[in-house]
Amino acid sequence: MNLSEIKLGQHAIVRKVNGDILALKLFEMGMLPGETVELENIAPFGDPIAIRVGESKLCLRLEDAAHVEIELH
């Protein structure tokens, strides 16, 4: 399962992040394998999504979120 499929309010654990620069950027912003993420909000047109990771809240497009492999809590 990947992060673009998570439902509102669901928690999950990051397993792996694919993609080149995007992955590094996500790591730098704290989205590391093993971290817990939560889908907090969805933008009006269903995309992008707002993900809570640690103390940060990140805005991600679905196509970018699809690079993040997760496992539901």
Judged by the rule CB under 8 A, the positions of this chain that interact with another protein are 19-30, 32, 40-48, 50, 52, 54-61, 64
How big is the chain, counted in residues? 73
∠ CA 36-38-44, rounded to 5°: 155
Considering beta carbons, is residue 1 or 29 the nearer one to another protein?
29
Least gap, CB of 71 to another protein (angstroms): 19
CB closer to another protein out of 48 and 70: 48
Is residue 20 helix, strand or coil? coil
* C-alpha separations of 22 from 44, 55, 66 in Å: 24, 20, 11
Complex with another protein: residue 63 or 71, whichever CB lies closer: 63
